[in-house]
A and B are shown apart, each in its own frame.
Chain A
Amino acid sequence: MPAVSETRETVEKLANSGYEWGFETDVEMDIAPKGLNEDIVRLISARKEEPEWMLQWRLKAFRSWEKMEEPRWSKVNYPDIDYQDAHYFAQPKKKPGPKSLDEVDPELLRTYEKLGIPLHEQELLAGVEGADEARAPVAVDAVFDSVSVATTFRKKLAEAGVIFCPISEAIREHPELVQRYLGTVVPQNDNFFTALNSAVFTDGSFVYVPKGVRCPMELSTYFRINARNTGQFERTLIIAEDRATVSYLEGCTAPQRDENQLHAAVVELVAMEDASIKYSTVQNWYPGDDEGKGGIYNFVTKRGICKGDRARISWTQVETGSAITWKYPSCILAGKGSVGEFYSVAVTNRHQQADTGTKMIHLAPDTRSTIVAKTISAGQSDSTYRGLVRMQPKARNGRNFTQCDSLLIGDQCGAHTVPYIESRNMTARVEHEATTSKISEDQLFYCRSRGFSEEEAVGLIVNGFCREVLKELPMEFAVEAQKLLQISLEGSVG
């Protein structure tokens, strides 16, 4: 989420609040009855005016979901989820698909304004003209309760041949592309949550960058859960053809509520020969209150495949929100000389739990991967890095470097590192290093003696600790992320 309009005052305002994005928007909603069965899946498909093949695809997913068990191997604890006690379809009433922003419910627009998400192209352009010339505009797809409400800059992108639209629209308008790639990286029955998502997803973003095209601007999706008792199930599919380049940003927030809400998204990336996809996330779902009540359960499957030679996929994530995070953005390196990267900062405070990491599956020769994971735990939270590096027999000269650092703030929290290293090729090299420590008294003293308050000092040190990851983020995101780190750790010292 670009912080274009952010000023010092808003930063200060943010810093003084707990969770600033906890408001609820009063929009007229179209909601399906509670529960999940084949009829609900059919209803979702019908409401989205989907072709028959898509309905069958969903039903297949639903049938395998019914037979699957919820995974419980991660280091997170939560009460059993009653999957029948939620609405699987909720969308703002004014439908289908607003033709222009004038048709969007003004209440909704105000929501995004509050979040600092520019949906008016002119406004954004005006802001750019006056400011930094180098700052490129950002195309935004705003998803509200899993339904895309607005996508900006579509015309400009279309000129370059880039398709950027809600996935529900892509299913109707570009069925050949969707059918060819959907579920190829993350199969419907990959795990419990992907099967659930495949059956009931309502929207998400679709990006297609044709051969040789460098996407002219950053693409961004902004997710917002609003309705009560709903889950959010969005699905993102990004395809970069030969020599194409795209950078995609994802941001998310939700209202403050006592009950837990489920978010089970699936993201699939396909990078062909010499293509490059950069996927950045700043995850700031509502983390629950000081007692650990409420908050989002974030069970997400993200995976990319480097299909062509020398393809590159880079995941960058800053995870500060959610009551529970269960997320392992992964890379399958199937093309010769392809590259996978994972840069992560995960911050947990209060009663948050995070179990996150990555998988780098090296299938082809000369593939390279880099993992840099920074974990910060405070309060009574628990944070785990869990990752897999696998060198398959054909991964000749494969290379991996992994670095996991954990920082503990307070003696009531936990930080864990669980790396799996599997090598089946003698010429492959894998290196892993991990450290766990606390903020040293020396560093704190140094900052304090120069007039920083203890909280500022901690903020400064944490930002330094995360620098390697934050520098991978697009600039607007980096500013946002630094601010979020500060807020997330509020009240954790002293």
Chain B
Amino acid sequence: MSETTQQAWTAFTERAGTRAALLGTQELPTRRVEAWHYTSLQPLNGVAWRTPERLSSARLTALLKPLALPEADGCVVFGNGYEDTDYTKLPASIMREKLDDQASFEDEALKDRFSAQLNGALRQDGLHLRVPAGVDGGLVVLASVCDGQDVSVHLHHSIVLEEGASLTLLDVQGGEGRYLANPLFDVHCAKGAHFRHVKRQTESKEAFHLGIVSAHSEEHGNYNSFTLNQGGALARHEVVSTLQGPHANSTVNAVQLVGGARLNDLTSLIHHAAPDCTSRQTVRSVLSDAAQGVFQGKILVDQIAQKTDGYQMNQALLLSEKAQINSKPELEIYADDVKCSHGATVGALDEEQLFYLRSRGIPEEKARTLLINAFLREAVEMLDDEGLQAYLLRSFPGHE
């Protein structure tokens, strides 16, 4: 690290005062740190990060427009980390809680994870929802937009679903300029609760995004997530899904659609900490131009987690000479009565399929788009909500 970048980084961490020091986030992980081997955080260095200002109502409206948010039962909007209550609307059945600024947030599952440490050091307010037992909270849209140069936003959200409750959250991120968005989600699904987390990360092309989710599912609980990673100069979406009660299950699916010289990263840990749990993961990446894709997915099975059923599939399409993918699907298993498998494929568009379409008179460009869309659609269609599927598909190439 050079002297000036070191100073900049120190300035950034100093914003958090002593709490940053306590959390040990003074140092930026280098590529020698295994978790960041493929995604270099060095671009974050050398930027004099500062706290952003509140956005004007007109600016906020302009930033929200391209996100084309769908109609929903509830809606909460943050601009540069400040909630604009003009938009706030929540169903009466859901309880909104206030975060105690002083209360410390500790989650063993997020220990040593840089995105969480950074959020912990600079924690801001966020959305704190509690869905009471047996209540279906419907669909809530959470939009976070940023605007500005060298500003950083560290929202901390928490979602608690009581026994048998359910909720779908559409979590949309966007903005303009070179900013850092570092949202953290702390999710608890009690017995039999179902939480569907659909995220669309569409940050500006210069932005950095380090998002992290820690989800805990109890007996028969379910954390089901789908992430569309398509924005940011450097963006990582990280999920730690802990299955801590028997028969809990989790789905951590994602699509990464990356172009330019940008890097998108999906890192996940599905931790089977109780018996009879099921997990599923399908991650598809399409990389064009000089884009880089990273997938690091780990399934960890504790000794107690007998009868685990885990499956993980990771596929990447490389569309250009300069595009690259780095993929690390990992299994760490300490229980013997398990069924765990993973698969990974990397390659270009299938020439035969392309030929088939061309021979039927479809122009090459169109044929390519068709095949790419088919590849992505398959992953999106695993989402069991047609409205949300349609919303996500609208942002795919060639969509009219």
Contacts and interface: CB of A to CB of B under 8 A. Distances in A.
Interface of A: 73, 391, 393, 406, 408-438
B336 to A, nearest CB: 4
Nearest to B351: A427
A252 B369 CA distance: 57
A434 B329 contact: yes
A430 B326 contact: no
Given A420-B328, A437-B339, A430 B333 contact: no
Nearest to A411: B336
Contact of A429 (B306, B330, B331, B346): B346
A54 B90 CA distance: 78
B13 interface: no
Contacts of A423: 316, 318, 324-325, 346
Interface string B77-88: 000000000000
A409 B342 CA distance: 20
B3 interface: no
Contact of A438 (B331, B338, B341, B343): B338
A408 B339 CA distance: 11
Contacts of B333: 406, 408, 414-416, 436
Contact of B332 (A414, A421, A435): A414
- Of A393, A411, A421, A429, most B-chain CB atoms within 10 Å: A421
Interface of B: 34, 303, 306, 316, 318-321, 323-348
A420 B319 CA distance: 21
Contacts of B339: 436-437
Contacts, number: 110
B329 A432 contact: yes
A421 B324 CA distance: 10
B338 A417 contact: no
A430 B334 contact: no
Given A408-B338, A414-B332, A419 B306 contact: no
A120 to B, nearest CB: 47
Contact of A436 (B34, B327, B340, B345): B340
B323 A426 contact: yes
B330 A418 contact: yes
B348 A435 contact: no
A429 B320 contact: no
Nearest to B316: A423
B344 A393 contact: no
A418 B346 contact: no
Nearest to B347: A429
Given A423-B346, A430-B347, A433-B343, A411 B337 contact: yes
Task: Give me the 4 closest cross-chain CB pairs, A-B, nearest first.
Answer: A426-B318, A408-B336, A429-B347, A432-B344
Given A416-B332, A417-B330, A433-B342, A422 B347 contact: no
A435 B309 CA distance: 11
A426 B321 contact: yes
Given A411-B337, A429-B347, 14 more contacts: A391-B346, A416-B332, A417-B331, A419-B344, A421-B326, A421-B328, A422-B325, A427-B348, A428-B347, A429-B348, A430-B345, A434-B342, A434-B343, A438-B337
